[in-house]
Amino acid sequence: MCESEHFEIRYEINPWMNIQRGVNAELADQQWHQLLNIMQRCGAKIVRVPPVDALPDLVFTANAALCQGRRVYVSRFRYPERQPEHDIYKRWFMTTGYEVLSEPETFFDAQGHYIGPCFEGAGDALFAGDTLFAAYGLRTDREIYTTIAELFDIKKVVLCELTDPHFYHLDTCFCPLNEHQAIWYPDAFSKETQAHMRQAIELFDIPAEEERHFACNAVVIDQQVIIPEHCPQTRAILEKLGLTVYDCAMSEFIKAGGACKCLTLQL
């Protein structure tokens, strides 16, 4: 996680962001710490990336990288406003003892500038067991998954085309609960993708009114799930599956297009 000390809306790169609306910094800090405390009560160990004043979205650490054990592939962001985060995350992983997987030479021009595909980490790539659900179409480019599958030796990749700009990352509209089950908001995906995903995993539909509260942007810790508040139907679905559910206020982060899962990266 990364503390919300410098979190605010300084630019608009998704439909949720509105500079004029802004965020309540004190309330955001309270909500961030509420999430932290719930996660710790659920048994999670938290490590922190130091906040950086010039990078207000660094708080959304889900986008840092794709992790598998001690090996990571660090993100390359689509929008210039977030591109400096790459170096911050890469340095953090390297100094913390992770193996940072190298990017192919073809992803760089003759001057060493990155020209390869965009990839936004565990915001767009989520494991359910050994299967990688891999989103593309809005923030991540489809072609990156050939490289990722080779680097991590992933045998099964389910490509997921996102079509609604309000749900621009996979983790805003899909959450694996375990190897076999997930919650999702189907209207965020193309019809073809919906069919492929239904064949790959058992899916439970989240209603549109709760998806507006980012119901699928949940943190799963063993048999415990942390979801944004105001999602009673989602809570009922999860509890029927035998999961313990915790609500967390996320109003200030939803203003920027994120919630519980966006604020965390599972290592």
Q: Which active-site residues does the annotation give?
A: 169, 262
The Cα–Cα gap between 182 and 196 comes to 14
Within 10 angstroms of residue 114's Cβ, the number of other Cβ atoms is: 13
- Residue 182's beta-bridge partner residues? 176, 203
Spatial neighbors of 57 by CB under 8 A, at least 6 apart, are: 7, 63, 81, 82, 85, 256
Write out the two tokens for 51.
Answer: 């906040």
Q: Determine contact, residues 35/246, Cβ cutoff 8 Å.
A: no
DSSP H stretches of helix in the chain: 25-41, 85-95, 144-152, 191-200, 208-211, 232-240, 251-254
Q: Determine contact, residues 57/256, Cβ cutoff 8 Å.
A: yes
The Cα–Cα gap between 59 and 78 comes to 17
The Cα–Cα gap between 221 and 261 comes to 11
